Structure 1
Amino acid sequence: MSAVTGTPAATGKSPLRGVALYGVALLLFACLDTTTKYLTAHYPVPLVAWTRYAVQFLLMTAILAPRMGRELVSPARPAPVALRSLCLAATSLFVGLALHRLPVAEASAIVFISPLLVVLLAGPLLGERLTPLRAMLAVLGFTGVLLIARPTGNLDALGVVFALLGALSNTGYQLMSRTLSAEKPLTLLFNSALVGTLIFGGLLPFFWGGEGLTLTYVLLFLSLGLTAGVGHFFLTLGFRYAPASLISPVTYLQLLWAGLLGWVVFHHVPDALTLVGMAVIAAAGVATVVTGGRRQPPGVSSPTPRTMGRR
């Protein structure tokens, strides 16, 4: 799941195209998580994360650097952009560790609590108004997490902890993204790829290992950066063609993609209470988007899940 902020204003001319592009982006992000889960069963998580960022970094450098030059790597606010990138790298690490221990759908659903955490924290940290309704929806979302991670649910406890840490670091990523809305999306994306490559590259001497490489594994490793990069590109295009108010509720379609891919690839079907928990999180998130911004002060936008997305 990945995010771009400061996207161009929607033209409003092709809203259906925007929704379709966004839906494809969410499918690619679910494919990214599914591939990550498969690879972390055979290789260390930091190695998998490094490959994902390194491939994206090389692709962006080859395609965008000749056209954008220093603009690609030089944000207006380097320190906050670096902190945002660190939050994303931490999210990638924790989510990778969670996917190693949990099914794709359950791990994705727990991390999707992030937009609701943003709602709760945007008030004290960003000065945005928290209405009683949106606070209630955030609590409802946490109830969904409890249904998924209940003691009788047979989920790996450490995996649940990693998923919750991933949600927390992703919340930091989203909050930082809101403060950097004036930065160019491609500059933010490139800096995230650069920082992720450097951070996980520094860990490689301690986590190098795994099974011998085959052509299948090589292709899967390469697909990590490709699906992430193309997914972010389609996400950006989606917001160019359609307004955020129309697209943002579609974000929770990623939970459906995650469930379907988990079933197809790993033959995992969530139990009834887990499905209820996932539905509760999705419903609370969509309702948060729909009610967002109606009571916001002038000049303050509502924190929507359009910054959702990690990795």
Structure 2
Amino acid sequence: MSATFKAALWMIGSIASFSSMAVAGRELASELDTFEIMMYRSLFGVLIVVALAGLFGTWREINSRNLQVQMLRNLAHFTGQNLWFYAVTAIPLAQVFALEFTTPLWVIVLSPLILGERLTPMRAFAAIMGFIGILIVARPDMAGINAGVITAASCAIFFALTIMLTKRLTRTQSITCILFYLTVTQLVFGVIAAGYDGDIAWPSAEALPLVILIGAAGLIAHYCLTNALSIAPATVVVPIDFVRLPAIAVIGMLLYDEPLDAWVFLGALVIFAGNYLNIWSETRTKT
């Protein structure tokens, strides 16, 4: 079995997990708000991380260093995830995923400020392509701009911040430590945000499997993606990840009668081209 085929299998798991999380989030919207969804997702995340840390004996890796960076990273992820869950209830799923693909391009723009990395001409060109893609996805005449589009585009910025702060943390912290603080702090954020009005809704018996699905799918998606990147180069993985867009478009059409929008696909192709061009350029530079 070739490395590319193995990576493709892992990416199938990632695509299925991201797609199921989007559908489950939309289905739960009639019963739970985004803060409650995040609270329950984080609760199941804590249980999973604690269980795995106990199983593999990695408790000793959890420490209190870099707490400020941990908190800032987790706040960025919590904000981005809440915006994402709102967006999947407000606009077509394909549009959400297309705008989410701009995350790597926001990393290009923000990394000189946060990580001190150099903004090369090729990186700048890739970022410009991404922003052109955003305009196409949001409709060239701007008539399609609404709260859902704004939150979907905004979540990509917070996901980019999460990636960069994670990169900084991985220099000194283990995956167990990062995931522990991620789930615990986001559970606290979720309880505060969901309970600010004094009313936290409990999931019904029908909604509980969807809550569990979201909690598991989030971890599984990133686990599969990480494994795919460890097996094959990003130039192979990124095109496979792009299959998420037509996959979720078909799901949206079958489950919610969402039309297959040509502008969304065109804009997503421009965004993908910017991402892939940057990855290809970085790979050539390193070799």
TM > 0.5: yes
Partner of 1:294: 284
Cα deviations by residue, 1:130-164 (Å, 9 ceiling, x for unpaired)? 33233122111111111111275764611222122
Contact 2:103/2:157 (<8 A) preserved = yes
Partner of 2:262: 272
C-alpha distance in structure 2 between counterparts of 1:268 and 1:291, whole Å: 36
Contact 1:19/1:242 (<8 A) preserved = no
Pick from 51, 56, 71: which aligns with 1:67?
Answer: 56
Contact 2:94/2:264 (<8 A) preserved = no
1:218 aligns with 2:218: no
State the secondary structure of the residue aligned to 1:206.
coil
1:284 aligns with 2:284: no
Gaps of 5+ in 1: 1-11, 299-311
Partner of 1:6: none
C-alpha distance in structure 2 between counterparts of 1:37 and 1:14, whole Å: 35
Alignment of 1:18-29 (within 5 A): 18-29=7-18
Partner of 2:232: 242
State the secondary structure of the residue aligned to 1:216.
coil
Query: So what's the TM-score if we normalise by structure 1?
Result: 0.81
Cα deviations by residue, 1:185-204 (Å, 9 ceiling, x for unpaired)? 23322321111111001122
Partner of 2:249: 259
C-alpha distance in structure 1 between counterparts of 2:104 and 2:98, whole Å: 12
**How far has the Cα of 1:258 moved from its partner?**
2.4
Partner of 1:105: 94
Distance verdict in 2 for CA 1:130–1:295, change over 3 Å: farther
Measured on the aligned residues, the alpha-carbon RMSD in Å equals 2.6
> How many equivalent residue pairs?
285
Contact 2:133/2:271 (<8 A) preserved = yes
Query: So what's the TM-score if we normalise by structure 2?
Result: 0.87
Contact 1:101/1:156 (<8 A) preserved = no
Distance verdict in 2 for CA 1:65–1:17, change over 3 Å: same
Partner of 1:46: 35
Distance verdict in 2 for CA 1:137–1:236, change over 3 Å: closer
Q: Which moved more, 1:29-38 or 1:220-229?
A: 29-38
C-alpha distance in structure 2 between counterparts of 1:238 and 1:71, whole Å: 28
The amino acid of 1:37's aligned partner reads R
Alignment of 1:128-277 (within 5 A): 128-150=117-139, 155=144, 157-182=146-171, 183-206=173-196, 208=199, 213-277=203-267
C-alpha distance in structure 1 between counterparts of 2:159 and 2:61, whole Å: 23
State the secondary structure of the residue aligned to 1:292.
helix
Contact 1:141/1:280 (<8 A) preserved = yes
The sequence identity of aligned pairs, in percent, is 21
Cα deviations by residue, 1:41-83 (Å, 9 ceiling, x for unpaired)? 3321111111111112112212333433533532653322222
C-alpha distance in structure 2 between counterparts of 1:123 and 1:235, whole Å: 25
Partner of 1:8: none
Gaps of 5+ in 2: none
Distance verdict in 2 for CA 1:236–1:72, change over 3 Å: farther
Cα deviations by residue, 1:260-307 (Å, 9 ceiling, x for unpaired)? 3222322212322222112211222122211124346x9xxxxxxxxx
The amino acid of 1:263's aligned partner reads M
C-alpha distance in structure 2 between counterparts of 1:218 and 1:111, whole Å: 27
